[in-house]
Amino acid sequence: MAKYTELSTLGEFGLIDHLTRTIQLKNPSSRKGVGDDAAVLDYGDKKILVSTDMLIQGIHFDLTYTPLKHLGYKSVAVNASDICAMNGIPRQITVALAISNHFSVESLEEFYAGMYLACEHYGIDLVGGDTTSSKTGMCISITVLGEAAEEDIVYRNTAKENELICVTGDLGAAYMGLQLLEREKLVFEDNEQTQPDFAGYEYILERQLKPEARQDIIRQFREKGFKPTAMIDISDGLASEIMHICKDSGIGCNIYEEKIPIDYQTFKMAEELNMNATVCALSGGEDYELLFTAPLNAYDQLTAMPGITVIGHTCKAEQGCYMTTRDGNTFELKAQGWTNFSSPKPVEKNAND
Amino acid sequence: MAKYTELSTLGEFGLIDHLTRTIQLKNPSSRKGVGDDAAVLDYGDKKILVSTDMLIQGIHFDLTYTPLKHLGYKSVAVNASDICAMNGIPRQITVALAISNHFSVESLEEFYAGMYLACEHYGIDLVGGDTTSSKTGMCISITVLGEAAEEDIVYRNTAKENELICVTGDLGAAYMGLQLLEREKLVFEDNEQTQPDFAGYEYILERQLKPEARQDIIRQFREKGFKPTAMIDISDGLASEIMHICKDSGIGCNIYEEKIPIDYQTFKMAEELNMNATVCALSGGEDYELLFTAPLNAYDQLTAMPGITVIGHTCKAEQGCYMTTRDGNTFELKAQGWTNFSSPKPVEKNAND
């Protein structure tokens, strides 16, 4: 009988490592393959960054409460975010789309309107794709191409000891927005006469339904002549992303709970749902903010930039990856919640994530 | 009430036109967008070709009779074919994959082994991707990047009047292979004790399960210093592809039934199933051969190349698109079978197909 090993035994990143570890790049134009936010290709003056993301109905989105226009926007934004995470500028996308026959032309137009809006916002051209029918749910796969000069590209394995750890924006809001939508869905299923109550939670809803790639931050870096030493986008929660940088760079880290930027609405929703807002920031996912490291002497320059928070520092690998809590205790960081093939949580499992 | 227009009312290519007609390319690096086998990007010396294909379980493949290793190989080959159709060389792919939790690590390894085998065969690097869980079937989306010097790229809208129409290999075999597999599946469902009988039909099975991109032809063209005037790959059947070239180039055509290359096994299977082999070649799909046009004076050069057949010639648009049958009658060519959203037939609906 054929051997049968469950996918969940390898874990998310273990599975990707397992399937891709034998790859040896053959073409001179393939500069960097699997293992960062985007691949790096060399076809001339500028380097090309390429990344692919797939969004599946029932796993990554729920059409009960996700407007198709928002979904189209988000599909483009999360891909643009991977290019930003390499310190590049997104330029083109291709879109592969599977939809059921029950879709109307009008609903597909809504989805495209959202994609075009995001393309307009980020200066991206939609240059090709594939539309096919699906017997089951909707499936969206977008590949984004971006560009950067070789000297501008920032990888995730180039952080050093004794550097600053910084994040953009605030964290945990998208996950809290998702929890709110799920709660109101249950209420509605119980009693279809009730109207969802989102008052006071507009921000966390928008963070879930219409996230933005932080291209504004990348442009700000260029204007100010600043380049991070390592960078990644926060799609699977802060803890997972910090540990990617630390593992790949061969370093450790210490971050401070009190420094993690969390919005008031995120705190309020977490309290209402009896959850810990810090845990949401560490493990919630879908923030699409940037996590990066920088030399200590960049501190003044960074704290003067709007939207950037220093949350800790890197250290030797032997010291491990820790968070100092508000009450002064230390906790070892764990990349929890990424046993994706056994978990219903909408997490990304991305070779170029 | 919101307007509801069924997808089938627009037809396959109508839907793509409808959704993409407003696109205006903004980036200087976006040279050619939706509307050919691949997009053309300009990032330096060589031009970059990009194309995306999506394969959906239950629409494009049936895991009952498709070995996963073959499926992996085919997924890469059909993408490489789009780059060949532009007279380019495929270099990199990204792979987005959705699979159910029921998949084993071993079966996923089989799929990857097939992809790697095709990558090895075509000299392609797998540089990134996304693996996610699916609540329903398997979904594969591959984006391929290739390269070509600007002067080597061949589009589908550049055929002229009074040129030769040529195809590579033979046609209709992949479709006949599919019919055979479907027949044996029904037999097996009826009586699970029976073993499928494929004797004498190995070639058409291989054409369905393990098609090849005609990169060998592209290399031959380069060695011989030949460049087609227009080219497309045959993924949806000969009739549909000829009409793409004619419509986009503003010309007509006349092809000869007796010239269409069809393998003996294709004829034999068609006879067994009471089908017309020519109709299978015209409308069957999944051949992944190349259809191209060439100046009249290239006739001797082309007929000296192995694997190339001249099947007709182009003419003025007013003369229409016709086939002369074996008995001397003429039939107007129709791109049948592409009302994809109402048809169970596994056809591609590709903006860069």
| Predicted local distance difference test score (pLDDT) of residue B153 | 93
> Would you call B139 and A135 a contact, using CB atoms and an 8 Å cutoff?
no
CA separation for the pair B318, B299 (Å, rounded):
25
Write down how long chain B is: 353
Asked if residue B125 and residue B184 are part of one domain, the reply reads no
Asked if residue A167 and residue A145 are part of one domain, the reply reads no
Q: Which of B52, B98, B125 sits opposite A128 (nearest CB)?
A: B52
| Predicted local distance difference test score (pLDDT) of residue B12 | 66
pLDDT digits (tens, 9 = 90+) for B177-187: 999 999 999 88
pLDDT digits (tens, 9 = 90+) for B286-320: 999 999 999 999 999 999 999 999 999 999 999 99
In-domain check, residue A1 = no
Asked if residue A182 and residue A147 are part of one domain, the reply reads no
| Predicted local distance difference test score (pLDDT) of residue B112 | 92
- Name chain A contacts of B130, Cβ cutoff 8 Å: 52-54, 141, 348-353
> How near does any CA of chain B get to the CA of A20, in Å?
9
pLDDT digits (tens, 9 = 90+) for B2-52: 688 887 777 767 777 887 887 888 888 888 888 888 888 888 778 899 999
Asked if residue B214 and residue B67 are part of one domain, the reply reads no
- Name chain A contacts of B22, Cβ cutoff 8 Å: 116
Asked if residue B123 and residue B186 are part of one domain, the reply reads no
State the pLDDT confidence band at B346, using cuts at 50, 70 and 90.
very low
| Predicted local distance difference test score (pLDDT) of residue B38 | 87
| Predicted local distance difference test score (pLDDT) of residue A344 | 34
B112: amino acid identity, one letter: Y
Asked if residue A130 and residue A246 are part of one domain, the reply reads no
Q: Which of B25, B54, B342 sits opposite A130 (nearest CB)?
A: B54
| Residue ranges making up the domain that contains B38 | 7-152
Closest-approach residue (CA) in chain B for A340: B133
| Predicted local distance difference test score (pLDDT) of residue A197 | 79
Number of structural domains chain A divides into: 2
Region B53-64 average pLDDT: 92
- Name chain B contacts of A112, Cβ cutoff 8 Å: 19
pLDDT digits (tens, 9 = 90+) for B200-248: 999 999 999 999 999 999 999 999 999 999 999 999 999 999 999 999 9
Q: Which of A100, A132, A339 should we substitute to test contact with B (largest number of B Cβ atoms within 10 Å)?
A: A132
Average pLDDT of chain B is: 89
* Nearest one of A119, A121, A52, A130 to A92, comparing CA atoms: A119
Asked if residue B121 and residue B80 are part of one domain, the reply reads yes
Beta-carbon contacts below 8 Å between A and B? 308
In-domain check, residue A276 = yes
| Predicted local distance difference test score (pLDDT) of residue A352 | 52
DSSP for B200-255, written as a single string: T-HHHHHHHHS----HHHHHHHHHHT---SEEEEESS-HHHHHHHHHHHHTEEEEE
Closest-approach residue (CA) in chain B for A136: B136
CATH code of the domain in which A221 resides: 3.90.650.10
Asked if residue B33 and residue B140 are part of one domain, the reply reads yes
> Would you call A39 and B92 a contact, using CB atoms and an 8 Å cutoff?
yes
In-domain check, residue B88 = yes
- Name chain A contacts of B45, Cβ cutoff 8 Å: 43-44
pTM reported for the whole predicted model: 0.90
| Predicted local distance difference test score (pLDDT) of residue A347 | 35
Asked if residue A298 and residue A184 are part of one domain, the reply reads yes
> Would you call B130 and A44 a contact, using CB atoms and an 8 Å cutoff?
no
Percent with pLDDT over 90 in chain B: 69
In-domain check, residue A350 = no
> Would you call B130 and A136 a contact, using CB atoms and an 8 Å cutoff?
no
- Name chain B contacts of A104, Cβ cutoff 8 Å: 2-7
| Predicted local distance difference test score (pLDDT) of residue A343 | 35
Q: Which of B6, B141, B352 sits opposite A104 (nearest CB)?
A: B6
Chunked mean pLDDT (size 10), chain A, 353 residues: 76 76 84 86 86 92 94 96 95 92 87 94 91 88 93 95 98 96 89 83 96 97 96 95 95 97 97 94 95 97 96 97 94 64 38 50
Domain end (from B131, B152, B173): B152
State the pLDDT confidence band at B343, using cuts at 50, 70 and 90.
very low
> Would you call A145 and B50 a contact, using CB atoms and an 8 Å cutoff?
yes
> How near does any CA of chain A get to the CA of B248, in Å?
17
Asked if residue B294 and residue B203 are part of one domain, the reply reads yes
